[in-house]
Structure 1
Amino acid sequence: MSSIKPITVYGHLGATPNPPKVLILLKLLGLPYTHIEKALTDDPTVEDGIKHTNFTAINPNGRIPAITDPNQNDINVWESAAILQYLAEVYDKDYKFSGKDLEERTLINEWIAFQISGQAPMSGQFLWFSVDRLHKAKYGEQAPEHVIIRFKNEVRRIYGVLNAHLEKQKAKGSDWIVADRLTIADVAWIPWARIIPAFDPTLLEELPAFKAWLERMDALPAVKETYAELNPPPMA
């Protein structure tokens, strides 16, 4: 793919959960890219911020990630799930990480839909209300305990669904969410899956199939390289 021009990725260094998906898939596909770090600020006057007009022209929602693909008339694609599906459709011609047929495509789409409608928002709300430097720092008081419990339980329910599904996949001889191989469904689930256990330490022990899947994902070179890129060691 040496003739392919680098795809521009708008993201952010650190632990933000959505940009890593895009970088992981780009690495899996062997695609060149340029990573542009955006400032996570709601101030529309900050020129490199996500709310400045030079970025909302690319993503009207003013969120990361987004991409611009010079190989396809500079098309802008935003929302991480849409980017995964776009990259798979345009560049995964051998269906290494996407659906080979209608059944596989449907299953992949279902699990990506569950990720963006369930795993991501529930995980985000759980952290927002339970981590002091988020809700408490903004409003000056701890969130009500029943709110924290509500979102923690929902996060646990969602990972329980994933764990049960992975157990069924294992019984069929697969280590992955869909089919018999790593797909963009797995890529979609990995960033939040790496974050949440640090805030709910018993989760992995209670969900062994999920734990084993997470260890497999973390062992992938594309995942290791992505997080090394986004979390560089401090300079000596």
Structure 2
Amino acid sequence: MKNKQIPYSEISFTHPEIMQIENSGEAKRYMLHSKSSNGSQQNELTLDEEVEGTTDNFDLIEMDNQVHEYVKLPKVTKVRRKSSIKRDFEDKNTRKRFIDDQGKRATADVGGNTVAKGLENKSLYDIQVQGELGEFIKVLKALENYSEVRSIDVIQGSLKEFSDAKRFVYLSDGVTESKYVIAEINLFPNKVVSVIEVEREDRALSTLICFLNHQQGKSFYYQQILFGLIDSHGTWDIEQLQFYNIDF
């Protein structure tokens, strides 16, 4: 994942766990011990798909295999708002508690809820799709050779990203997810045309060609257009396009 960009020069964040630790000679109030490790060093953490909080669509991704390359990394600042006391001394009043910690952890989404995925541009030659959308990609590759075209960026995904309860999200077999391709055609001089193509199968659905007046918030407009498409059961919502001042 290359050329990622975070549009901020500095990011500040705070959390209850981010505290200034102060050492103290006072006695501990309580002490926690793990039953599984019998007070010794904790066992290696195990990722578990069944731990409470995981989503149904659990995908285990090896973190070592992920490489993110950013154009420019922002400065990250931890803001410490509180302080905590670290007590090392124990006496007869120190209460000991034993907890059953099996060392299992889950790479779950926050709160177990579905996280809205961002729409990211990809190179035209990195897109691998079959069928009708595959023919659409071939047309884009031919279009890229025209002198008026500066470049073509492509966003690819599945309509299931926006809804899992609508019939139009799936093809006629009820299992295969319906896919979409958004092509951003950059023309000379400084003009961008967005072309949205969705798998039609046996449905009549026109290709949407539109001009976004605000390129900075284009992801929001794309999401709203696809939301409207799903809610309208496979027809472009003209009133919605006019509401957002999108020329189509």
Instruction: Give me the TM-score of the superposition, normalised by structure 1.
Output: 0.21
Q: Which has the higher contact order (CA 8 A, sep 6+)?
A: 1
Query: More helix per residue: 1 or 2?
Result: 1
Instruction: Give me the TM-score of the superposition, normalised by structure 2.
Output: 0.21
Point out the structure with max Rg over C-alpha. 2
Query: More strand per residue: 1 or 2?
Result: 2
